Structure 1
Amino acid sequence: MHIIAVGLNYRTAPVEIREKFAFAKDELPDALRKLKETKSILECVVVGTCNRTEIYAVVDRMYPCGHYIRDFIEKWFGVSRREFNHHLYVKEDEDAIRHLFRVTGGLDSMIIGETQILGQVRDAFLLAQENGATGILFNTLFKQAITFAKRAHSETTIGETPVSVSYAAVELGKRIFGSFAGKTVLIIGAGKMSELTAKHLHANGAAEVIVANRSYGRASDLAEKFQGRATTFDCLLDGLKEADIVISSTGASGYVLKREQVESVLQGRKSRPLFMIDIAVPRDLDPAISELSNVFLYDIDDLQSIVATNLEERKREAVKIDAMIGQEIDAYNTWYRTLGVSPVISALQKKGNQIHQETMDSLLKKLPDLDEREIKVIRKLTKSIVNQMMRDPILRIKEMAAERKGDEALALFTDLFALEALLEEEEAGESAKPAAGAGTPAAAAETKRPAFGLTLKEALAGS
């Protein structure tokens, strides 16, 4: 068996290409069904966001399946593969698994360390599971990747440092006010950056938004988005008297607010702190304003500097998460290597039960005068002997199967206890059952049979 990831993202394809390959939400169940019906695909999950479209699949053969998935993409979206082939990336086996962990952990995102992708991967997996598109491998792998991403974000600070100007402004404000509850925001101008910053402040609890602009109409349009109120530059100082937070982004060629104007307003504010963010270039707010008591002024360079510093911090935390991913892959390897133990243990237990039953039958023929109580005692004691004899071998083979040469240990174990016939009988019994979908016992047996003791990469590559 192999694991493969095929996709395109913001690094490999511009938005005008990515939008051609976006799965409509209501069409995903049908897409998963079509994928699952594709030759050689045993399990599949589709992850689709504005920045990526990725197909993860468990396949029985690697190279033909790359062609089959491209063929599916071509037919589903009605786009010739000549238009998208050079945008696609294909990751195989352990590289595909590492990629999934990086995606889920936010390390492959445009904004490194973001957490939205975690929910998107989780939803994609649950949808595939609900539609019968996953089985033993992906049910384990995706659950592990989701759990890991949550742990990675809780054990590192990758998500705690803002990496956008608007978020940086909000974080700065928290340092000054602690909470934005009950605070008033004054927006000077109606620029996009001002709007985005105000949106984050409002979402973090700011109570009221005042928009001041040369054009009252534009001020009114923006104010409506925050259930706020509009004003013009003529009444700017009145708004400044009420404000706790000022965001300025206009196209003015000179200062919109000078030190003297702010100073005159401060006299009636009773020492309330004033947090001012100047996002305009050229600047709207006189730099001398920062000299005033209880006024905290930041310009675009201050915020960009914070963003750059925080981005570097996220990159350092990402290195830690990358190391954690290596440990997760080792854990998945161990789980995968032990998949082949179950049928061997089952065969040993079955053989032990057969020997016990044959012994009891022989005993009862030789001692026909035993009463029911005596038979029950003998049966219990002999069964206990068989179980005790099997206990240590079972524990040891579980340990040995998780080691590097687990396949050799399983083969030797099978040979020593002469379990070949029972294993063949079990395999024949599974083959005789009706075709089973992913996630059923038959599908699980089919998946785990080649995995005897191999590392994940060896097991996947060797099928």
Structure 2
Amino acid sequence: MKRVLLFATGVDERLPLALRERYLAFSERERSEILKEVGCSAFVLLETCQRLEVYGTAEESLRREDLLQRLFPLPDPYRASVFYLENADAVRRLFRIATGLESALRGEVHILGQLKRAWEKAHQNGHTGKLLNVLFQDALRVGKKVQRSLHRERTLRSFGSLVAEVLEEFLGSLEGKNICILGWGTLGRSIAGTLLSRKAGTIFVFSRHLHHIPQEKPFVAIAEKSALKEVFAQSHAVVCASGSARYSLAPEYLNEAIALPQVLIDLALPRAIDPVLTQGRKLLDLETFLGLARERTLPFVQESEHLEALITEEVERFLRKWRGFQADPVIRNIALCFEETFSEARGAIVQACNHDEQELLLLRRIEWVRRKLFRKTAEQVRRFFEEER
């Protein structure tokens, strides 16, 4: 029976922003082809503003060095930002990400949605197997469990909160201040929700999906770049929350000179605002924000020990479940033996019985015995594999 290898590899926020932008040029199709060529049988690509990671399964023949060199062809000084983990360590990594403990903004709430979408996309494309499906389902369950247990008032929970906090430092109170948000994804909606709670003025939203944007005040939906000049003239700050080139603010994308507000926050990857346009203005990019998140997130004092113990317990639970998967081929062989044996018994009953009613009762009885005996045997086999170290 072949052993299955579970692995995790990727780069995170330690890699400079300019290099992380370079890897966004790799299409998902290219990454998928690389993974298949090096021996990966199933995989999920997790791509966020902070990281690019791969969770996969393979036989022992996985060409690890080939995988790392082709997926992350970094110069030597930056090789340290690439990690590679196997089995229990890979499971722990995913569970820590699901709980927000590996995020710059510790305990963040949006990572669960990103995990779920990454897994669903891979599943729909036929890239996952049983092991990865169970792993990601468990990770989502653990993440929700931890979120419920955290003391929310002790931690900064979302980038939307951090954006509002930084804007208040530059603009003072946000009450009555007009803010323009470029992009209406998860991050854009989080920022808008925080601005609403702080009684911001008009919230301009530039997006190609206007039907998703609230129609009531203070929201104003914008779809054409030609309207940005007037919008920027009325705004106190611009926040870029989408990495799509369609929203990029660069001279070559703008038909005429536009006066930008004094405060610019660019959370997009790749970056959305060309530095050429920001002379004399305050620009905070994603790298700056990740640094602020690490500085301002209150440390988990009482929670840390509890969370680490919870994650350790959940990793062990998953490993027991994984060992149980190894019983499946054995159980299938046992099922075949059972079917052959009871098929012979049913044939003997048919030949021996002269009365249809008696024959039917015996056949029903032997079918009941077959189901009960097989169920108990399968339970014992699975328990043996789960407890095996």
Asked whether the two chains share a fold, i.e. TM above 0.5, the reply is yes
Q: Residues 7 and 57 of structure 2 are in contact (CA less than 8 Å); yes or no, is this contact kept in structure 1? A: yes
Q: 1:402 to 1:376 in 2, by over 3 A?
A: same
Residue 325 (structure 1) shift:
0.9
1:396 equivalent in structure 2: 380
Q: Residues 45 and 125 of structure 1 are in contact (CA less than 8 Å); yes or no, is this contact kept in structure 2? A: yes
2:235 equivalent in structure 1: 224
Residue 55 (structure 1) shift:
1.8
1:252-267 aligned at under 5 Å gives the runs: none
Render the CA deviation track for 1:395-451: whole Å, top value 9, x for unaligned: 433433321x3xxxxxxxxxxxxxxxxxxxxxxxxxxxxxxxxxxxxxxxxxxxxxx
1:336 correspondence with 2:341: no
Q: Residues 12 and 50 of structure 2 are in contact (CA less than 8 Å); yes or no, is this contact kept in structure 1? A: yes
Q: Secondary structure at the match of 1:185?
A: coil
Equivalent of 1:185 in 169, 175, 185: 175
Structure 2: how far apart are the matches of 1:208 and 1:364? Answer: 84
Q: Residues 113 and 159 of structure 1 are in contact (CA less than 8 Å); yes or no, is this contact kept in structure 2? A: no
1:6 equivalent in structure 2: 9
1:216-365 aligned at under 5 Å gives the runs: 224=235, 311-312=298-299, 314-365=300-351
Q: 1:20 to 1:200 in 2, by over 3 A?
A: same
Structure 2: how far apart are the matches of 1:159 and 1:2? Answer: 40
What's the TM-score once normalised by structure 2's chain length? Answer: 0.62
Which amino acid in the other structure matches residue 89 of structure 1? F
Render the CA deviation track for 1:176-200: whole Å, top value 9, x for unaligned: xxxxxxx98267xxxxxxxxxx977
Higher Cα Rg, which structure: 1
- Percent sequence identity is 20
1:72 equivalent in structure 2: 70
Which amino acid in the other structure matches residue 396 of structure 1? Q
Q: Residues 22 and 48 of structure 1 are in contact (CA less than 8 Å); yes or no, is this contact kept in structure 2? A: no
Consecutive unaligned residues of structure 1, counting only runs of 5 or more, are 172-182, 188-197, 210-219, 228-248, 250-303, 406-454, 456-463
Q: 1:344 to 1:205 in 2, by over 3 A?
A: same
Q: 1:9 to 1:166 in 2, by over 3 A?
A: closer
Residue 58 (structure 1) shift:
1.1
Structure 1: how far apart are the matches of 2:54 and 2:163? Answer: 37
Structure 2: how far apart are the matches of 1:37 and 1:156? Answer: 39
2:251 equivalent in structure 1: none
Query: Comparing both structures, which one devotes a greater share of its residues to helix?
Result: 1
Which amino acid in the other structure matches residue 362 of structure 2? I
Q: Residues 40 and 59 of structure 1 are in contact (CA less than 8 Å); yes or no, is this contact kept in structure 2? A: yes
Between 1 and 2, higher relative CO (CA 8 Å, sep ≥ 6) is seen in 1
Residue 133 (structure 1) shift:
1.2
Q: Secondary structure at the match of 1:113?
A: coil
Consecutive unaligned residues of structure 2, counting only runs of 5 or more, are 166-172, 178-190, 203-230, 239-261, 263-291
Structure 2: how far apart are the matches of 1:31 and 1:383? Answer: 52
1:89 equivalent in structure 2: 83
Residue 81 (structure 1) shift:
5.4
Q: Secondary structure at the match of 2:100?
A: coil
Equivalent of 1:157 in 142, 151, 154: 151
Residue 33 (structure 1) shift:
3.4
What's the TM-score once normalised by structure 1's chain length? Answer: 0.53
Which amino acid in the other structure matches residue 345 of structure 2? T
Which amino acid in the other structure matches residue 8 of structure 2? A
Q: 1:328 to 1:373 in 2, by over 3 A?
A: same
Q: 1:360 to 1:20 in 2, by over 3 A?
A: closer
